[in-house]
Amino acid sequence: MSTAQGHIEVRHIFKVFGAHAAAGLAMVKQGASKQEVLSKAGCNVGLQDVSLHIPGGQIFVIMGLSGSGKSTLVRHFNRLIEPTAGEILVNGRNVLQLDGKALQDLRRHTMSMVFQSFGLLPHKTVFDNVAYGMRVRGDTEDAVRASVTKWIERVGLKGYDKCYPDELSGGMRQRVGLARALAMDPQVLLMDEAFSALDPLIRYDMQTLLLELQSTLSKTIVFITHDLDEALRIGAHIAILRDGELVQVGTPQQIVEQPADDYVRRFVERRS
């Protein structure tokens, strides 16, 4: 697979939630703050004029405080959210112009998500959870068996395929979530706070696993976190959001050595 695959281009995205989004958008474009738009138009501004290039084949981290727009941004990539204005291009194709079938293909073949809450089906075994997405998109049982067996082993869960999620620890459940996403062989993996619910040592192990897997996979991994240490450890690039605005994009070294403003500096200074 070429490393160029799975690149994402975000162009001037605005997301304004609420019944009067058009009015809210006009206010934002005229320079009103998130708070002003909320009090005057009753709209919640999720993102304001975010433009971003996410290269293929690398781990790209999105950071920011709670409510800064991280999940909102990432949900635009597979069009779980429609922007109020702006464009998103995946591999050069405008996702807003995809029809139903093409959008389904994007979600089933190009991108997979890994969630903080694991999102496992409690009444299905580990095997059937990992197989789920492949079966939904209609892969043959032979293909499912080969891929699921491989990924259960590669995430370190060999022998657990017949277990149910409630028989596993949090770290093991997230390994199942990761295997399920990777079994689909997507170009892009979207990981929204995927490791945030895990205790520190298990979280560190999961970062190590992800880095090990990525060293051979070279997928585009969009990884959301609150934690700068995690971001610095795994990210090739880090983008920082505040109140729906992009504050800085850079390599870990650039973020640490040249924080763009006090907001970024506070993340850097808070490091343990």
Instruction: Among 72, 78, 84, 207, indicate the residue that binds ligand ATP (CB under 6 A).
Output: 72
Q: Least distance to Mg ion from the beta carbon of 224, Å?
A: 6
Q: How far is 1 from 3, CA to CA, in rounded Å?
A: 6
- CA-based Rg of the chain, rounded to a whole angstrom? 19
Phi and psi based region of residue 79 (left: phi greater than 0; alpha: psi -120 to 50; beta: remaining): left
Yes or no: say if 238 and 227 are a contact pair by the CB < 8 Å rule. no
Residue 76 in contact with ligand ATP, rule: CB under 6 A: no
Yes or no: say if 225 and 210 are a contact pair by the CB < 8 Å rule. no
- The site partner of 149 among Mg ion, ligand ATP, none (C-beta below 5 to 8 Å per kind) is none
Residue 64 in contact with ligand ATP, rule: CB under 6 A: yes
Yes or no: say if 60 and 240 are a contact pair by the CB < 8 Å rule. no
Tally Cβ neighbours within 10 Å of residue 81. 19
- The site partner of 177 among ligand ATP, Mg ion, none (C-beta below 5 to 8 Å per kind) is none
Instruction: Among 67, 86, 119, 156, indicate the residue that binds ligand ATP (CB under 6 A).
Output: 67
Tally Cβ neighbours within 10 Å of residue 51. 13
Instruction: Among 2, 66, 215, 253, indicate the residue that binds ligand ATP (CB under 6 A).
Output: 66
Choices 52-60, 64-72, 97-105, 118-126; region in contact with ligand ATP by CB under 6 A: 64-72
Residue 259 in contact with ligand ATP, rule: CB under 6 A: no
Residue 263 in contact with ligand ATP, rule: CB under 6 A: no
Q: Least distance to ligand ATP from the beta carbon of 164, Å?
A: 28
Site residues (CB under 6 A) for ligand ATP, limited to 43-62:
44, 46
Q: Between the CA of residue 178 and those of 14, 121, 151, 203, what are the distances in Å?
A: 30, 14, 9, 13
Site residues (CB under 5 A) for Mg ion, limited to 45-104:
71
Residue closest to 241 by CA, chosen among 40, 59, 51: 51
Strand partners, 144: none
Residue 17 in contact with ligand ATP, rule: CB under 6 A: yes
Binding residues for Mg ion, rule CB under 5 A, total: 1
Q: Which positions touch Mg ion (CB under 5 A)?
A: 71
Binding site for ligand ATP (CB under 6 A): 17, 44, 46, 64, 66-72
